[in-house]
Amino acid sequence: MRGAGNRYVFWAVALAAALAAPLALTNNYQLGVAHQALIFALLATGYNLLLGFTGLVSFGHIALFAIGAYASAILVVTFGAPFLVGVGAAAIIAGLVGVVIAMPALRIKGHYLTLLTLALGEVIRLLIRSMESLTHGSQGFSGIPRPEIFGMSFRAGVPLYYLLLFALVLGVAFVWRIEATRYGRAFKAVRDSEIGAEVCGVRTDHVKVLAFGVSAVFAGVAGSLYAHTMRFISPEFFSLGLTITLLAMVLIGGRGTVIGPIVGAILLISLPEWLRFVKDYYLILFGLAIWLCAIALPDGLAGAAARLLQARNSVRGRASLRT
Amino acid sequence: METFLQVLLSGATMGCIYAFVALGFTLTIAAAGVVNFAYSEWVTFGSYFGVTFAVILGWPLWLALGASIAGCIAIGWLFQLFVFTPLEGRHFLTSVSATIGIALAMQALVTLLWGPYPLTLPTFFGSSAVQIGTISVFPHNLLIIALAVLIIGGLQLALTRTSIGLRLQATAQDPMAARLMGIPVRRMRTLAYCLSAGIAGLSGFLVAPLFVVTNTMGFGLMLKGFAATIVGGWGSLKGAVYGGLLVGLIEALGAAYISSEYKELIAFAMIIVVLLVRPRGLFPERIAEKL
Amino acid sequence: MVELLSVRDVGKTFGGLKALDGVSFGLAKGEVLGLVGPNGSGKSTMINVLSGVYRPDGGDVRLDGRSLVGAKPSAIAAAGLSRTFQNLQIFGGLSVRENVLVGRDCRLRSGMLGGVFGLGGSLREEREAKSLAADLLEKVGLARFVDAPPSMLSYGQRRLLEVARALAADPKVLMLDEPCAGQSQAEADALAVLIRALAKTGIAVIVIEHNMRFVMNLVDRIVALNFGRKIAEGTPEAIRGDEAVIEAYLGRRGHAERR
Amino acid sequence: MKLLTVLSAAALALGAVSAQAQSDITLGMVVGTTGAFAGGEAPLVNGVKLAVEDVNAKGGVGGRKLKLVIEDTGSEQTGAVNAYNRILAQKPVAIMDTTVSGFVLSQLGAIEDEGVPTFTGAATAQIALDKKGVANLFRVRTSDSLVPGAATRFAARNLQAKRIGVLRVNNEYGAGWRSAIEGALAEMGMKPAIVESYEGADRDLTPQLLRIKEANVDALIVAGDPPNHVVAVQQIRQLGLNAKVIMSNSGVLPTTLRLYQGGAADGFYGTVDSLPAANPAHKAWADRYKAAFNVDADYSAAEYYDGVMMLADAIAKAGEKPADIVKALRALKDRAGVGNTYTYADKGDGGQTVAIGEIKGGRLELAAQVK
Amino acid sequence: MLSVDKLCVGYGEADVLHDVTLRVGEGEIVAVLGANGAGKTTLLAALSGLIPARAGEAMFDGRSLVGAAAERIVGWGLSHVPQGRRIFPGLSVMENLVVARTAATDRAEGGFAAAVAEAEELFPRLNERRDQLGWSLSGGEQQMLAVARALVARPKMILLDEPSLGLAPMIVETMFSTILEIRRREKVGMLVVEQNAEQALRVADRVYVMELGRIVLEGPADEVARDPAIERAYLGA
């Protein structure tokens, strides 16, 4: 039980640090990086439900992020809907598309699933690009306002930071809760042994569709927040390169853990910024850091930390079992 | 008919290029289960090596070709030491993220080494087309197709007719049994990596005149190569070649007969259809699943 | 005998190889049945057919009169047929307790949002499931490992974990695929006691096991397979003396004596 | 989350370092020095460097020297926003911004909010810099609302083309060209004979060119990035497409002209804002540029040079307050620079000149001065 | 020729073999019997270098097998026919043999061609199937090919893991007859690991019986065959 206690302390400290962070984030540059980190942390947290919890390697997740961004932008700008309606619609539409993607994905496994989702994602992105009357096509969608809720504007950096943090906290709390329910267990059971889960009575098809759907809702919300934070979106941004970045966030942070994707997103967003002091060499260092992480920490940063803790506990545990 | 043949020729050229990339990509998968997402940068380096030797240093083209291949093999050798060997037997995603990291670093290195401006490489036969019947043929395209037939055919022969090729196949199919036959698995894998790198060097040199040499030229190629690899059947060399040709032809025919605007969409939609009909690719590996 | 589970003429072919060839047997409530045979005789295939992992080519499997042929494994588990695996299928990323709770999944009713927000009795359901899991782990002797990851367990203990997980679904029939592999004699003895106790509560048990000493001392009845066919059926004593069985295991006696 | 605080502390420390050179005026620049746009934006850096040298050689502005700080976009959208904000944190007097329209559109909020005078070479008509535009954003190039139109009129009038085709890259840039061409044709009561598109990464345009060939065009306008033009030219030659070809700006950049093999592009046209050959001042400047950087100058480098020079004048006149600089710049009318002629009096669209060049012997020569 | 002393082997935390000691002489056929999970396969894998030994010694032809790489051990004349045959599925019968060729094959009279000819004489079926791919062979044919592969390497001794596994009784009988034939012709020694006690007892000179990773019984084959302990080890009593 001590472990669980530590967990609460850890999250409380993390939340306090996040709440206090704007004190240290003194300019729009730092706030801007923090905004992106929060949005991608939310996106990666949802992606982790699919990749880390359920073990389904989808390369089409960014398309759902794009759907969220466009749905919200179109509703708010073109149809004058309030921001909250935009976010809600983004969540619902992305979630539904996620479920639709899941259908063909049920039949297909492993690397073939990876390519199938990649192709589905690209098809979605290209459809967004070709629906010019709605999405302005490849010109991109500009003039998206910053969020406004019941007359309260999140135009300035600090309030927006707290709005994004609030969304992330909600998302993390959701994942944290789901981990303790039958669905959290079923997700991981499907990942660890699909046949084992099925034979235990878990309806694995149902579980996979659910995982796709829920992670798509996260992507939709994150997409909407992205659109209203950056105020400009274009089909080119939601490309395969971003999918790979997202994947790296979850892997480097540690898939299958709650904290992993958050750490990964913050690291991948901010590390290139830290490394700017080496000027032209920063991307080389950044790339080498990713390589080193992957080779040295196959379970990601969170996985490595967990193993360290576990090794310490098991030494203690064994000692107590012996008595 | 004229249009059809012309499109077929250009589709086949692109298909051969994709087949090269898919083949190089598949070699490391087959040999050790390692997915190399830095393959795009291998090809890019192959192109830049070509420019360096042929244009900057002014070597004869064939010599520059050899040197580019050698340069890429050297890169493959370094990868073997620092990337592939630590990744053997790891989860597929681990090799994805490790090689993506290296790819990023290599891409940044290209700009530092060769500067930001696009470069180009002359072809062996100049840049004018030859008229054959009603269609015009660019000799370099014919060279690519001929080399593809030669190299892929030669590789096929080497893999099936020589004892070292058979040993390579044996290593890919069952490394444990291969060791029991006295096959040095480590060296066989290194050979596969170097072959893969050599193909990257060749592809880089061949695509440079068609592609214009830039720091980002490899990524789109690899994406298509990756698709071809899976459409063909994971880890199947034969599948990689046919997958590459298929992707190249679908793209060209789709653009010519349906719409250039929706060309990519058609190509990806076709990939989805292929996977739904054949969930394990065109040439699935015959390995029984055991419970 | 009132048959709880009835297997009739079940056949299964893999690429021309007849893994099962018209096998029939029945099972009554509270009965312990041993399924034996040399390697490759079709025992595991039979369990895979019964649990819905493989679809039989022919024949019928009925539980309480209801046919299970063509049903998904999850539906079969919900119908009351649970199993363990020869090659363990433990969920390595879940704790020992959570592994057992996954076995309970087909009996849980709460939905995703209900679970997340603790609505509609989902908290009570979860609490009850947890206490059931604790009881089962106590029963198989893994109580002190509830919160541990399965990697802390020995191979033999992991087999027990699979037994607990299978029991969590309240099965009518429990199928154990080589439950003794990797276990010490003491552990095997404890397992035998547990299986007998389960049978007393009315659960029917099918045991596949190579450890013949274990099987002979445990079961009420044995079905022996060889090359996918049933070659003998009867009490342990009868099987031990059965020529066909001895031949299947040791080859023909006559040859050995000849030398 | 702790990480975030550490990060911000680190960033803070970095910010402090840049504060040391108190006496210099910081001029910011946001371009891609890595990634896909590094090649296209390298000349801008050269142009700005040359300008900063020139200003400082004359003793700087009001006795203080200009110090150039460059931030990399990484050729990515979020990178561009971060780079712009990074520069802002270093309190620049003005910012020379990227030419990538999508990036500028993403920065627009920060540009407007902070009010720092910002020059951009992003030509897209989408960044509305007409009368209502963003007060402190100044375009140093000729807008894409003008250039494609000029190319179209050149095709229709000078080249007497009746059937005009369009081959454009399928992105924001190509889309802008397409609609501008269609607009210009409509003014003349015409319609494009055919519009074909391709992906930026495509290296085989055979299907598109065959369709264009079948459409029997007299002139073809091609819009895309340098590699796209090189591929298009090569394949137009190979397929024997007999049409006059007018390329968008990047097709006739000096760094692109080097890539056409064996005079393949001779006889092709391209749009530029200005040509050294047609303007003695530009010519003299281009020679200096070539001496300094060992590469031929392109007009956008000259325009970024002009931007810095106009800025220096404005500071000298009005002081260093952003609002005052903006006001001073807004007073400019028909100011002749080396790369363009600028009027910011009632709009942010400064550049107005468009020229059409023809490639002869691998070099660009003036075919028509449009304005 | 092969002498194993107090060999201990394990995976991860579990020890599988405890103090295993055995000898195989030149040209001798020795069987190791035992039920599933007794550790027989692990023993062979340790001898051929696939898994490292934790303690003890194993000498073959004057060289220590402990710590030697599997791919080198073959060259010393010790071939391992693994459990489940491990035929290369994508190679033809002939190609499977080509891959098994070693320096010893070439040193022997007639080289590779003679080695293949001899193997095909023992297993005429392989000659008929020469160009057929590995995965398409029946279980019996695969077993023949696995043994033929070992023979092509011109070994001094063969480690044979469960040659009867999953084969029909008739084929098993032929297989074991061939084993005797191989010894007669090539004078190679063999260490045979088997579940099928009867067949193994028929061909073996000496027998070791393993239970739970230890040798519990050893002796000449006819003595062990009469020992009631053997039946107990299989059927439980």
pLDDT value at residue A315: 57
Check pLDDT > 90 for residue D98.
yes
Give the dihedral sign, CA E11/E12/E16/E21: positive
Asked if A35 and A161 count as a contact pair (C-beta separation under 8 A), the reply is: yes
Average pLDDT over residues C45-71: 93
Give chains near A: 3+ CB pairs under 8 A: B, C, D
Domains along chain C with CATH numbers? 1-80+171-259 (3.40.50.300), 93-169 (no CATH)
Asked if D207 and D198 count as a contact pair (C-beta separation under 8 A), the reply is: no
Query: Per the CB < 8 Å rule, is C102 touching A202?
Result: yes
pLDDT value at residue D345: 82
Q: Which amino acid is at A41?
A: A
Helix axes A182-192, A204-230, angle to 10 degrees: 110
- Tell me which residue of E27, E21, E33 sits closest to E1, measured CA to CA: E27
Check pLDDT > 90 for residue C166.
yes
Domain range holding E24?
2-86+155-234
Judge if pTM exceeds 0.80.
yes
Residue B81 — pLDDT band, cuts 50, 70, 90?
A: very high
pLDDT value at residue A314: 61
Out of D34, D72, D170, the one facing A138 most closely (by C-beta) is: D170
Ramachandran bin of D91, using left for φ above 0, alpha for ψ from -120 to 50, beta for the remaining angles: left
Contact residues, chain E, for C255 at CB < 8 Å: 198-199, 202
- Which chain B residue has the Cα nearest residue C45? B291
Contacting C residues, span 130-159, partner chain E, CB-CB under 8 Å:
154-155
Query: Is E109 part of a structural domain of the chain?
Result: no
Query: Is E50 part of a structural domain of the chain?
Result: yes
Two tokens, residue D193: 């004979």
Query: Is E20 part of a structural domain of the chain?
Result: yes
Check pLDDT > 90 for residue B75.
yes
- Which chain E residue has the Cα nearest residue B167? E99
Check pLDDT > 90 for residue A65.
yes
What are phi and psi for residue E15, nearest 5 degrees?
-90, 130
pLDDT value at residue B214: 92
Check pLDDT > 50 for residue D20.
no
DSSP structure class, residue D199: -
* A184 contact D CB<8A: no
Q: Which of B139-143, B270-274, D165-169, E17-21 has the highest mean pLDDT?
A: D165-169
Q: Which amino acid is at A19?
A: L
Task: Quote the mean pLDDT of chain C.
Answer: 88
pLDDT value at residue A316: 55
pLDDT value at residue C113: 86
Two tokens, residue A92: 């619902």
* C48 contact B CB<8A: yes
Chains C and A touch (3+ CB pairs under 8 A): yes
Residues B277 and B267: their CA atoms lie apart, in Å, by 15
Number of domains in chain E: 1
Q: Long-range contact list for E17-23, CB < 8 A, 24+ apart?
A: E17/E42, E17/E43, E17/E46, E17/E213, E18/E213, E18/E214, E19/E56, E19/E214, E20/E56, E20/E210, E20/E213, E20/E214, E20/E215, E21/E215, E22/E208, E22/E215, E22/E218
Out of E37, E195, E199, the one facing C181 most closely (by C-beta) is: E37
Beta pairing partners, E219? E207
Average pLDDT over residues B146-159: 91
pLDDT value at residue A272: 87
Residues A210 and D222: their CA atoms lie apart, in Å, by 47
Question: How many CB atoms neighbour CB A108 within 10 A?
Answer: 19
Tens-place pLDDT, residues D111-143: 988 899 999 988 777 776 655 578 899 999 888
pLDDT value at residue B30: 87
Contact residues, chain D, for B126 at CB < 8 Å: 261-262
Three-state helix/strand/coil letters over A79-126: CCCCHHHHHHHHHHHHHHHHHHHHHHHCCCCHHHHHHHHHHHHHHHHH
Two tokens, residue A310: 């576990």
Average pLDDT over residues D230-241: 91
pLDDT value at residue A66: 98
Query: Is E27 part of a structural domain of the chain?
Result: yes
Architecture of domain B2-277: Orthogonal Bundle (1.10)
pLDDT value at residue E12: 67
Question: Residue B57 to residues A210, B52, B122, B213, C172: CA-CA distances in angstroms?
Answer: 59, 6, 13, 16, 80
Query: Per the CB < 8 Å rule, is A177 touching C101?
Result: no
CATH number assigned to the domain covering D22-142+282-353: 3.40.50.2300
**b/e code A191-229 from CB counts within 10 Å (16+ = b):** bbbbbbbbbbbbbbbebbbbbbbbbbbbbbbbbbbbbbb
Asked if B222 and B216 count as a contact pair (C-beta separation under 8 A), the reply is: no
- Cα–chain-centroid distance for residue E44? 8
Residues B278 and B267: their CA atoms lie apart, in Å, by 16
Check pLDDT > 60 for residue C256.
no
Burial label, C85 (beta-carbon count in 10 A; 0-12, 13-18, 19+) = buried
Task: Quote the mean pLDDT of chain A.
Answer: 90
Domains along chain A with CATH numbers? 2-322 (1.10.3470)
Distance (Å) from the C-alpha of residue E217 to the closest C-alpha of chain B?
Answer: 29
Tens-place pLDDT, residues C155-164: 788 999 999 9
Asked if B35 and B29 count as a contact pair (C-beta separation under 8 A), the reply is: yes
Residues D307 and D138: their CA atoms lie apart, in Å, by 9
Tens-place pLDDT, residues A25-59: 888 899 999 999 999 999 999 999 999 999 999 99
Residue with tokens 């087949």: B19
Architecture of domain D147-272: 3-Layer(aba) Sandwich (3.40)
Two tokens, residue A18: 């996040």
Tens-place pLDDT, residues A219-273: 999 999 999 999 999 998 998 889 999 999 999 999 989 999 999 999 999 998 8
Query: Is E141 part of a structural domain of the chain?
Result: no
Of residues C245 and A74, more confidence is placed in A74
Tens-place pLDDT, residues D317-370: 998 899 999 999 988 988 888 988 898 887 778 888 899 999 998 888 988 887
Check pLDDT > 70 for residue A4.
no
Q: Give the side-chain half-sphere CA count within 13 A for D23.
A: 7
Q: Show which residues on chain B lie within 8 Å of chain E, measured between beta carbons.
A: 160, 163, 166-167, 169-170, 173-174, 176-185, 286-287
* A202 contact C CB<8A: yes
pLDDT value at residue D21: 45
Tens-place pLDDT, residues C68-83: 999 999 999 999 999 9
Query: Is E64 part of a structural domain of the chain?
Result: yes
Tens-place pLDDT, residues D46-62: 999 999 999 999 988 88
Interface mutation target, options B180, B188, B236, B283, chain E, most CBs of E under 10 Å: B180
pLDDT value at residue B72: 97
Residues D178 and D198: their CA atoms lie apart, in Å, by 13
Two tokens, residue E30: 């020795």
pLDDT value at residue E37: 67
Domain range list for chain B:
2-277
* C250 contact E CB<8A: yes
3-state DSSP assignment of residue B129: coil
Ramachandran bin of C207, using left for φ above 0, alpha for ψ from -120 to 50, beta for the remaining angles: beta
Beta pairing partners, D197? D168
Contact residues, chain B, for E101 at CB < 8 Å: 163
Domain range list for chain D:
22-142+282-353, 147-272
Tens-place pLDDT, residues B208-246: 998 899 998 998 899 999 999 989 988 888 899 999 999
Asked if B228 and B180 count as a contact pair (C-beta separation under 8 A), the reply is: no
ipTM reported for the complex, 2 dp = 0.89
Chains E and A touch (3+ CB pairs under 8 A): no
DSSP per residue over D155-172, as a string? IIIIS--SSEEEEEESSH
Contact residues, chain A, for D71 at CB < 8 Å: 276
Asked if C18 and C10 count as a contact pair (C-beta separation under 8 A), the reply is: no
DSSP structure class, residue D61: B
Query: Is E134 part of a structural domain of the chain?
Result: no
- Which chain B residue has the Cα nearest residue C89? B291
Q: Which amino acid is at B127?
A: S
Residues D329 and D306: their CA atoms lie apart, in Å, by 12
Contact residues, chain E, for B160 at CB < 8 Å: 95
Mean pLDDT of successive 10-residue stretches along chain E, which has 237 residues: 90 79 92 79 91 91 91 93 89 92 90 93 90 84 92 94 78 87 89 83 90 86 81 58
Asked if C127 and C110 count as a contact pair (C-beta separation under 8 A), the reply is: no
Helix axes B92-114, A282-296, angle to 10 degrees: 160
